Amino acid sequence: MNPGPLYTLFRNGVPEVQISGEIWISDGKRTLFQSSEWNSKYPARSLLKPFQFLATGISRSSVFSDWWVAALGSISGTEEQVSHLKRWTSGEAFKNSVGKLESSGIGFTHSCFSKHLAILQACEKNGWSLDSYRSIEHPYHSELAEILSSLLGKRKEAFEFVVDGCKLPTPVLRMDEMARLFQKLVQGGKSDPSLLRIRDWMISNPDWIGGPKRIDSRLMRDNPGLLVAKEGADGLLAIGVLPSPKWSEGLGIVVKLAGGYQPVPAALALKPVLDNLGLQCNVPIPEGQTLQYHFRPWEQPREKWIDISPLLNAKIAVWPEDTPFARDIALDTATGDPLSLSSIRTSLHVGAHTDSPLHFGKGKKGIDQVDVTKYHGLCQIIEVKKNPHTEIKPEDVTNVEIVTPRVLFKTNSYPDPSQFNRDFNALSPELVEHLAKLGVVLVGIDTPSIDLFESKELRSHHATLANEMAILEGIDLRKVEPGIYELRSIPLRIEGGDASPVRALLRSPTRPSEF
């Protein structure tokens, strides 16, 4: 799983509930939007019912039977639905199937009754065993895998199955695969004429896909002829948007909530997507709350990483009398050698780096023993403009609200990493103490040290030691604006190391934005 925040509900401006999950949008050929980096995979569960019905082969019949529409959804077991199901299945042709289901605890009010009924009817028609239809070895599940293979262009043998809540094998599919399936569904006859029938039956009978109060049924009623929708178990909701002038092949949209089955929050998560498409999503925000989304449809959720590490080469400046950076080349493919091989000799305090407590504290931890969790996560960049060779003090940041556990200071007082200047700005020990009280676990600066050049006591370094804070020095923030970012700057595991160079990276997190 790779859930991220999708939206936050506020009460009088105070965050109260945050809904996390993943959203995927596909036009069948490419991914148009994904809210997370990783293409997570999940048991498809009830999301797959239209395709499970397709695998029965029943939809290929030229004669339509009313009960088929019930097999396309997860019925709510309303009095009206149960009445219709009992009437539709009262004939001799259903006697064995209905009896078998009821004896196994799947009665007319069960949300998967009609799906099981369709599979058993297919068993009788094809001469397949009724007793073993829940086994992954049964011909029906082989047929389902064959259909998914054809629709997704994936080897049949590559599908993984797990057992669903109703004891049927269900395939595990990636987010993009689920989205593509619903794009194929609304595309209809171009991929399989039977899919066109299933799509149109769903559109014509929205209340049989769930029920009068179910989100999937409501979305179809509110957008007649424009989309199909299907809830899945444990936080899944899929929507197929029918072809339009802009999206000639239709769209497949899937949301998966990290918190499991929450149909109304799932629909709210997709509201900006549907609004963007001109579709209705009449799901109200809970009374007394306001909502902020953490993503924009059709835009990738995060910017690329920003490298704030100065380039390490022979030009990089180091502290006076410290070991300069040098790279010795032993072998080089550019000159005909079979491989390239080199070694480096350098101060550990080169470029973007972190000091270990051992650097300034006798008997303290080396860099191999520090808590690396402090070096990655949300950080805040604060720009402070002061005269050269001065310390940043608490009063310099009184107008800034500290909202992250890592703070990096942009001073612009060390403008050229290849030229060492001694009049850079630094942090005062009082500022370090102030930040520690606010819960800050890492402080950083765009200079060679958090203490002034001529400092011998290193009071700010010792303030971090007293408060168990990590240090990041020598970062390059010249092209970075103040704000909230995600930081990655893991030190090397150098035994007993007094410091370590780091590859320091930033990117904008998915932040709340009004629609």
**For residue 203, what is the domain's CATH number?**
3.40.710
| Catalytic residue flag (residue 116) | no
| Domain assignment present for 59 | yes
User: Does the residue 186 lie in any domain?
Assistant: yes
- How many domains does the chain fold into? 2
Does some domain include residue 512?
Answer: no
Which CA distances in Å does 279 have to 202, 228, 248, 290? 17, 12, 16, 21
In a domain, residue 321? The reply is yes
Tell me, yes or no, whether 176 and 231 share the same domain. Answer: yes
53 plus 75 within the same structural domain: yes
Structure tokens at 481: 């604006």
Domain boundaries, position 187: 4-293
Residue 515 lies in a domain: no
The reply to whether 214 and 354 lie within a common domain is: no
Question: Do residues 149 and 231 share a domain?
Answer: yes
Residues 329 and 262 in one domain: no
On whether both 158 and 43 belong to a single domain, the answer is yes
Q: Distance of CA 513 to CAs 96, 216, 297, 509, Å? A: 56, 27, 12, 12
- Assess whether 16 and 121 both reside in one domain: yes
d(CA 400, CA 377): 20
Which residue, of 293, 315, 348, is where some domain finishes? 293
- Which of 261, 293, 325 represents a domain boundary (last residue)? 293
Q: Is residue 86 part of a domain?
A: yes
What phi and psi values does residue 317 have, to the nearest 5 degrees?
Answer: -80, 145
**What pLDDT was estimated at residue 433?**
97
What token pair was written down for 146?
A: 């064959």
* pLDDT given for residue 515 in this prediction: 26
**CATH number (domain holding residue 337):** 3.50.30.50
Residue 434 lies inside a defined structural domain of this protein: yes
Catalytically annotated residue among 359, 376, 434, 462: 359
Per-position pLDDT tens, the chain of length 515 = 778 899 999 998 888 999 999 999 999 889 999 888 788 899 999 999 999 999 998 888 767 788 888 889 888 888 999 999 999 988 888 888 888 888 888 989 998 999 999 999 999 889 999 899 999 999 999 999 999 999 999 999 889 999 988 889 999 999 999 999 999 999 865 657 888 889 999 999 999 998 888 999 999 999 999 999 999 988 999 999 999 988 999 999 999 999 888 889 999 999 999 999 999 999 888 889 999 998 888 765 556 789 999 999 999 999 999 999 999 999 999 999 999 999 999 999 999 999 999 999 999 999 999 999 999 998 999 999 999 999 999 999 998 889 899 999 999 999 999 999 999 999 999 999 999 999 999 999 999 999 999 999 999 999 999 999 999 999 999 999 999 899 999 999 999 999 999 999 998 764 433 22
Query: What distance in Å separates the CA atoms of residue 475 and residue 492, rounded to the nearest whole number?
Result: 16
Which domain-ending residue is among 293, 322, 353?
293
Q: What is the 3-state secondary structure (H, E, C) of 263-309?
A: HHHHHHHHHHHHHHCCCCCCCCCCCCCEEEECCCCCCCCCCCCEECC
**Is 440 inside any structural domain?**
yes
Q: What pLDDT score does 514 carry?
A: 29
Cβ(309)–Cβ(504) below 8 Å: yes
